[in-house]
Chain A
Amino acid sequence: MGLLEAIIISVIAASTPLLLAAAGELVVERSGVLNLGTEGMMIMGAACGFAGAWLTGSTFIGALFGIAAGCALSLVFAALTLGLAVNQVAAGLALTILGVGLSGLIGAGFVGEKITPAPHLYLPVLTGIPFVGKILFGQDGFVYFSVALVVAIWWFLYRTRAGLVLRAIGDSHTSAHALGYPVLKIRLLAVLFGGGCAGLGGAFLPLAYTPFFIPGMTAGRGWIALALVVFSSWMPGRLAAGAYLFGAVTILQLHAQAFGLGIPSQLMSALPYLATVVVLVLISRARGSAGSVAPASLGTVFVPDR
């Protein structure tokens, strides 16, 4: 296996959790809700996902545990922001604080345990093709699912009636409400979907990326996923491109550390975070003050009048 091939495979693996979480958040934000709790839902997905896989021996059930954990946390968020009209920024922060604490509590018993990592696809002839074989036909289920998920979200948002309604609610909840669309119900579904995606993205880490659980193992990926949604201008295609770009930055800094080069390892580790800041600045500058491509109702509270 050549070095380039190995790098591409590791880039895909590093990008997948970002892509999963960011794809979910994209749908949430398209419906007009800003859930900053992605990091908390991801780390809960990681802890519960690992617990599920360790208890049952099945990666699949582990992944389901991760999804369920993400959904459960997002339900709390929905109850507050949709049910009680709480400020979404504050509620999202609370979700992250709670998720980090709970995951430490749940995961404490599993630190040091190991599981079999998620199996990789193997097709007799295709996987053997030099260079592209392993990249296209030798990944684990999470990777294929994440790609399918982005395509499905694109199709849903731009090719279905329900997707149109969701976007309409995100752009003007008052108009959508006046037209008779159930704003809060659709937002609830979007938030739950986003929670499930973030939980799955988190579960990917201990189930496929490293076969063990460490507290705080998401290391800010949830926040990077949030930045990716801004980077993508809320468009699924650009989201995938951004996720792989960030995966590449993460992997390249690891390789650069391995080579030494005399650069402090901490500087290299800081690269993904610095890159996020730089990208946010560049994207915001390119759009200028007028270019608010964000859903118009994003982050605002909606209380239906009767």
Chain B
Amino acid sequence: MQLVLEKRAERSTKIAILSPLLAIALTLVTMSILFAILGKNPVAALIVYFVEPLTDSFTLMEIAVKATPLVMIAIGLSLCYLANVWNIGAEGQFIMGAVCGSFLAVVTNGTDAGPWVLPAMLLMGAAGGALWALIPALCKVKFGANEILTSLMLVYVADLIMDYLVRGPWRDPKGMNFPTTASFDPVATVPTLFETGRIHWGALVALIVVALATVMLGRTIKGFEIRVVGAAPRAARFAGFNSKRLVLFTFAVSGALAGLAGIIEVAGPVGVLQPGISPGYGFTAIIVAFLGRLNPVGILIAGLFLALTFIGGEGAQISMKIPLDLTKVFQGILLFYVLACDSLILYRIRLIASQKKAAQGSIHGTA
């Protein structure tokens, strides 16, 4: 007896809907086992992780704050992945967006410059992220260099550029030598939505991005082009779609969104440019994109769910002394299960008699 994979005649729509839920369920089971190994009560730990953050208005808002960059980055990445272009350097594009936008905040600091500062910062952030993303895209289009490796290498470079700036030229002179810029002026800060809590206008920007992506993918020729190039490159060539230009387009858009997320994060909840502005948003967004099935609305839901794991992880660290790294383990396991369950949309697993017998049978059959 043996398990084999067999291609379905057509993709299963039932499993396409069930698969993310099944993946989450399997992840929770695996996490319970991990909690037990760590000597914690699995039920209590799961409640701290996934239920407690939902019971308090402060943590609910924090989830929205964390989901904002995740959703924005993941929407951009989903365009790349749909077109079969592999931008995995969103973390670097996020940082470069934060750096380029912060430039204005730093030079206008204390000058009472006026309300044009913030919009200009957002534009520069998006431009910075897009330009940073165009480096691997151009290397791929012009020279055929693998975009996975180049986009990832530039994450480390972006991190070092930011490190240089906040330790060197941009360091707050009154900051007691801490590697951070001066706090941004109010005109260089993304306003909060309510009197209390940290939820800010960036959350609405993320929602607009989701809406725009939905329209673009479903209703425009560009969205159609992205999906055709990704799903059937040969057909796309016959249709006259230029796959090289699409590489540049998807990289530029995803870089701009990551950069915008970066500057919004810095000008919003963080308020200064400093190392560690991202707990790995650029990488977690990859998981968000896949968990959301590369669909804008799915990504919104997935982004909120993964933001919940960040907040739940922080809560579990404080109240149950569960290491913060467990959140990353959780995210990795979740991505594995999502990928595995997605496989079942196209394939089914069948139990068959041992292969040797089957092979013999076919020989006899043809003889």
Contact = CB atoms under 8 A, between A and B. Distances in A.
Contacts of A91: 336, 339
Interface stretch (B62-70, B255-263, B327-335): B327-335
Contact of B144 (A105, A215, A219, A289): A289
B21 interface: no
A269 B153 CA distance: 12
B358 interface: yes
B148 interface: yes
A287 B146 CA distance: 13
Task: Give chain B's interface secondary structure class.
Answer: helix
A105 B31 CA distance: 13
Contacts of B135: 277
B290 A84 contact: no
Contact of A100 (B286, B290, B328, B343): B328
Interface stretch (B155-163, B184-192, B200-208): B155-163
A273 B335 CA distance: 27
Nearest to A81: B339
Given A101-B328, A105-B323, A303-B347, A94 B149 contact: no
Nearest to B149: A227
Nearest to B352: A306
B16 interface: no
B347 A277 contact: no
Interface in A203-239: 215, 219-220, 223-224, 226-227, 230
Contacts of B7: 303
Contact of B149 (A86, A95, A226): A226
B88 interface: yes
A270 B326 contact: no
A47 B326 CA distance: 15
A288 B143 CA distance: 7
B339 A230 contact: no
A98 interface: yes
B214 interface: no
A95, A289, A303: residue with the most chain B Cβ atoms closer than 10 Å = A303
A280 B347 contact: no
Contacts of A264: 164, 168
A289 B143 CA distance: 8
A270 B336 contact: no
A104 B325 contact: yes
A94 B335 contact: yes
B157 A284 contact: no
B302 interface: no
A52 B275 CA distance: 33
Contacts of A267: 160, 164
Given A90-B339, A266-B160, A287-B144, A99 B323 contact: no
A108, A227, A304: residue with the most chain B Cβ atoms closer than 10 Å = A227
A283 B146 CA distance: 10
B5, B286, B287: residue with the most chain A Cβ atoms closer than 10 Å = B5
Interface string A263-306: 01011011001101100110111011100000000000001101
A80 interface: yes
Interface of B: 4-7, 86, 88, 135-136, 139, 142-146, 148-150, 152-154, 156-157, 160-161, 163-164, 167-168, 283, 286-287, 290, 323, 325-333, 335-336, 339-340, 342-344, 346-347, 355, 358, 362
Nearest 7 CB-CB pairings of A with B: A98-B332, A101-B328, A104-B325, A101-B329, A266-B164, A94-B335, A97-B332
Given A97-B283, A269-B160, A277-B136, 9 more contacts: A86-B343, A90-B335, A97-B331, A98-B336, A264-B164, A264-B168, A285-B144, A303-B5, A306-B358
